[in-house]
A = this chain, B = another copy of it.
């Protein structure tokens, strides 16, 4: 097979070059299925033009409620000529197109459950982590993306330095909310007994969402940072260990 192209946003460090939660979700899917692919790096201000050129659909609307909003990941598959945007659509496309490669990410009878899981996980954890890591995410970018990211995010969130100020009560409240959200997810995992993944012995897409969020936090906060230490240690160290299980699928091609 020819290499699939995965479009991703670069971070400014070599170690944390792939950092974005959503593009990691697509990469984890490719790695789990053992498919040949290569990453093309795209800075934020260039995403829209690239998507239009590839014919990739917008993933939603900008905050004005009218203008299409183009985001990554996008994959381009020269084997089929298909261009797919949005990480869960990528996972579903790979399941359907390469059904004999690696585990199914949406096994039969799990589509509705995984949709509910996604909603619940995103509201319990993703949107709570988002403000906690927004400043670190911005600082992790190359200059052109940094400027774009800060300007567009500050339009709705205000100054990024003020979102979760370190060592303040406001900041601690956000951290507490994050721990509550992760604890909720840890309780869901208990219903799976001793199995490491939501899917049991092998990951499904729901697991990818959890891993994608954790690797984002680890890469923008820094693996040796106090903040990543705090997240990885939550719920008896569950999340640091969970991400360790993903090292086998964390290669960047």
Binding site for B on A (CB under 8 A): 107-117, 119-121, 184-185, 187-193, 195, 198-200, 204, 206
Contact = CB atoms under 8 A, between A and B. Distances in A.
A113 B111 contact: no
Given A115-B191, A117-B117, 7 more contacts: A112-B188, A112-B192, A112-B195, A113-B198, A115-B190, A116-B188, A119-B120
B116 A193 contact: no
Contact of A119 (B113, B184, B189, B195): B184
Given A117-B117, A119-B120, A120-B120, A112 B184 contact: no
Contacts of A200: 108-109
Nearest to A200: B109
A-B interface, 6 closest residue pairs, ranked by CB to CB distance from nearest: A115-B191, A120-B120, A113-B113, A112-B192, A109-B200, A115-B188
A109 B204 contact: yes
B108 A117 contact: no
Contacts of A189: 112
| Interface secondary structure of A, over-half rule | helix
Contacts of A111: 191-193
6 contacts: A109-B199, A111-B191, A111-B193, A113-B113, A113-B117, A116-B116
A116 to B, nearest CB: 4
A177 to B, nearest CB: 15
Contact of A206 (B113, B188, B190): B113
Best-surrounded residue of A189, A192, A193 (most CB of chain B within 10 A): A192
A119 B183 CA distance: 13
Contacts of A204: 109
A156 B138 CA distance: 46
Contacts of A115: 187-188, 190-191
Contacts of A120: 116-117, 119-120
A191 B109 contact: no
A200 B111 CA distance: 9
Contacts of A107: 109
Contacts of A188: 112, 115-116, 119
A182 B191 CA distance: 25
B113 A114 contact: yes
Nearest to A191: B115
Nearest to A190: B115
